Amino acid sequence: MAIERTFSIIKPDAVERNLIGDILKMITEAGLKIKGMRMIHMSKEQAEGFYAVHKERPFFGELVEYMTSGPVVVSCLEGENAIENYRKLMGATNPEQAEEGTIRARFGQNIQNNSCHGSDAPDTARNEVAFFFNEDELVG
Ligand code: CMP
């Protein structure tokens, strides 16, 4: 299995509850290397653009409102099988269905305020990393 990259967001609910350190510890202990990282407060345009695939979904408006409600930590992670590994570490979208010990089971509040985001496939990972980072920033 080749080394690959994925994209992560530590979402407003987790930043607000001071969980950045706990989540980054889980990420690095899972063998994922942080290549680039930034704390930002997303604009409405950024959130709408990032989640454009969901724009027809009934939760889109609330999702954009939530993702712009406070700061988030965006990062590019790298490692063996990074996309799948990070998705396993996050657990199911709905924290109630997430496996014990996963980020969302430990910290998620509900299906929207689920503490973290991770890319779901290689093409989305590439696009999502490029949405927030220039290649020359990924130095880690
Ligand atoms: P994420 O993995 O970032 O992808 C889309 C986000 O929409 C999801 O996590 C949740 O934060 C949010 N969301 C809100 N309601 C739903 C829902 N019913 N199904 C999936 N995602 C939802």
pLDDT score for 58? 98
Cα separation, 65 vs 88, whole angstroms = 27
Structural tokens at position 77: 């992670």
Q: How would you classify residue 54: left for phi > 0, otherwise alpha for psi between -120 and 50, otherwise beta?
A: alpha
pLDDT means per 10 residues, the chain with 140 residues, are: 94 99 98 98 98 98 98 98 98 98 98 98 98 93
Residue 113 C-alpha to ligand 1 middle, in angstroms? 8
* Average pLDDT taken over every residue of the chain: 97
Mutating to test ligand 1, I would choose from 102, 112, 116 the residue with most ligand atoms within 8 A of its C-beta, which is: 112
Residue 138 C-alpha to ligand 1 middle, in angstroms? 27
Nearest Cα residue to atom 2 of ligand 1:
117
The crossing angle, in degrees rounded to 10, of helices 20-29 and 82-90 is 130
Ligand 1 atom nearest 113 alpha carbon: 11
pLDDT score for 139? 87
